[in-house]
Chains A and B, each alone.
Chain A
Amino acid sequence: MNLLSSLFRRLLRMATVVLLVIVGSIVLVRFAPGYLSDAREMDARYAEGARNELATEAARSGSVGGMLWSEVRGLLRRDLGVSRQYEVPVVELVRPCLAVTVGLLLKSMMLAWIIAGCTATISNWGRSPVSLPGRLCHLTSTVLLAVPIGAMATMCLLADSGGPLLVLTTLLAARDFKFLDRMLRKAWNDPHLLHARAQGVSTPELIRVHLLPGIMPQLGSLATLSILTALGAMVPVEVIFSTPGIGQLAWNAAMNRDLPVLLAVTVMMAIAVTASGFGTGSRPATEWQTA
C-alpha cells in the first residue's frame, strides 16, 4: 500500500511538473519581446489580405490562455499541434526524428558510461588522490569540458574524422567521469570498506559485495545527469553534422520561429528528464546541465 501511494505521489508530482513546464514555456515565449513580430510581414510578396490574416493569426495566438488551450488540444488530439512552417501536424515531423535521436543518445550514453567507468576505476586504482593516472584523467576531462560542444563537432567535421556519436560520447564520458570519480573516491574511503580492505578482502569481492551496492542509488542520479547533458548537447551536434534528429528539428523551428514545434520538443524533453528522474527515483540532478 505504501509502495502504491508513493508511486502515485511521484506520478502526480511528475504530471504537475510537466504541466507547469508547458505553462512556464508558454508564458516565457509569450512575453519574449519579439513574440508578436512575424518575419513574413516583412516579405513584400505577401498581399495586403495575407498580411491582415497574419495579423489576425497573431492576435488569436496572443493570449496565454489561447496558446495553452491549443497546446493541450494538440496533446489530446495526439498531433501536438500544427507546424507554422510546414503546416503539417507536429507529430509527423517529430516521429522520424525521434528514432534517430533516441538511437544516437542511447549508443553514446552506453559508450560514455563504459569509458567513464573504466577511467574512474583507473583513476582510483592507486587509492591516492594525487596518483598520476588520476591527475591525467582529471586533466583530460577538464580540457574536454572546456571546449564547447559546437567547436568539438566542427573540428571533427573539418578533420573528416568522427561523427555525432564520437562527439557526444566524448562529452558525456568527460562529465560522467567527474561524477563517477568523486563518487568512487568517497565510497572507497568509507569506514566499512577501509575495514574490509585492512582485513584483506580481495578487490573484486570488495567491489561486488560492498562498493557496487553502496553506489547503486547514486547511479540513478548519474543516469539523469547523462540524459540532461546529452539533451543539451544534441542540438549543436545534430545541427553541425546535419543529423536529421530532434535537435536539428528544434533548431530549424527556432530559426523559423515555429513555436508549436519548438514547444512540443521542449515539452518532450521535459517529460524525458522528469521520467528519467522518476524511473531512477531521483530528482533531476542538480549538477550543472549545460553541455
Chain B
Amino acid sequence: MRFRSIAGWLLLAMVLIATAIVTSSGKAISEQDRNAVLEGASHRHPAGTDSLGRDRIVRVSAAFLLSLTGAVAASFISTAAAAGVGLLAAFSTAGVGTLTMLVCDVFLALPWLFLLMMVRSMLPLSTSPADSALITFVVLAALGWPACARAVYQGALRLRNSEWMIHARAGGMRIRQIPRQVLPNLLPLLLPQFLICVPAFVVAEANLGTLGLGVGEPLPSWGGMLLELGNSAILMQTAWVYLPIAVLVMALLLLESTAREA
C-alpha cells in the first residue's frame, strides 16, 4: 500500500511538472534555435538543445506526456476489448468460447515486435507525425488484448459457475444484464491487467522508436529520443534527460506489482 501511494504521488508530480514545463516555457516542441545547436545547459535552455537546436527539456516533457497519454489510452482500449472478448467467450456457447480463445492463442503466438514492425513498415511514406503516433498506439492496443482476454475469460468462467450466478440465471437474468453484474466483480482482475499494459506499451513504443519505426519526427517520443543515444556528444552532455521516462516506467511497474499482489 505504501509503495503504491508513493508510486501514485510520484506519477502525479511528474505529470504536473511536465505539463507545467510544456505549457509555461513559451517554446514549441519543434522550435529551433539555430544559434544554439547541441548546446549544453544554459539559462535559455536548462537542459541544452539537440542537434537541430530544439530545447530538450520541453521535448522531454512533451515526450513524457505523449508516451504516458498514448500508453494509458491504448491500455484502456486493450483492457476494454479484453473484457468484452473474455465475457463473450465465457458466457456464450462452448463453440464460440473455443473459437475466441483460439483467436487469442493466435495473437499470443506472435511476437509483438515483429507484427508491429510489419504493420509500421507498411504505412504510407507520407504518414504525418500525429498519424504515426496514433497508429503506433492503436496497433499496440490492437495487439495487446489477448493475454488480458485470456485472464478475463478464466475469471469470468469462475464467476459463471459461481453459485450466485447460477441462481441469478435460473431466476431469469437476461443476457444484457450480465456485463452489469459481472464487470464489477472482474474489476480486481481488470485493474492489474490495465496497469500491466501501461508500462509495457511505453517500453514497446520506445523499442519501436529505437528501430526508427515509432512516432515520427518532429513529434517527441521516448523512442525517438533514444535514437539520439547513438550520438555520444549529446549523451555526455545531457544523459539525465532519459531519467524521467525511466522513472515513469519504474513507477508504473511498481504500481503494477502492488496491484498484482493486492
Contact = CB atoms under 8 A, between A and B. Distances in A.
A189 interface: no
B167 to A, nearest CB: 30
Given A151-B210, A251-B211, A269 B112 contact: no
B105 A17 contact: yes
Interface string B237-255: 0000010001101100110
Given A17-B105, A25-B118, A28-B118, A228 B111 contact: yes
Contacts, number: 180
Interface in B160-218: 196-197, 199-201, 203-204, 206-207, 209-213
A257 B120 CA distance: 10
B235 interface: yes
Interface in A232-269: 232, 235-236, 239-240, 250-251, 253-255, 257, 259, 262-263, 265-266, 269
Nearest to A229: B111
Nearest to B150: A286
A234 B95 CA distance: 37
B17 interface: no
Contact of A284 (B109, B117, B196): B109
B111 A150 contact: no
Nearest to A155: B229
A99 B65 CA distance: 41
Interface in B93-126: 102-103, 105-115, 117-125
A142 B210 contact: no
Given A17-B105, A262-B121, A290-B203, A142 B110 contact: no
Given A34-B125, A148-B222, A262-B117, 8 more contacts: A13-B102, A17-B106, A29-B118, A150-B209, A150-B210, A288-B197, A290-B112, A290-B200
Interface of B: 102-103, 105-115, 117-125, 127, 135, 147, 150-151, 196-197, 199-201, 203-204, 206-207, 209-213, 222-223, 226, 229-230, 232, 235, 242, 246-247, 249-250, 253-254, 257
14 contacts: A29-B119, A33-B127, A142-B253, A143-B250, A146-B203, A146-B253, A154-B230, A158-B235, A231-B111, A240-B210, A255-B212, A270-B110, A284-B105, A289-B108
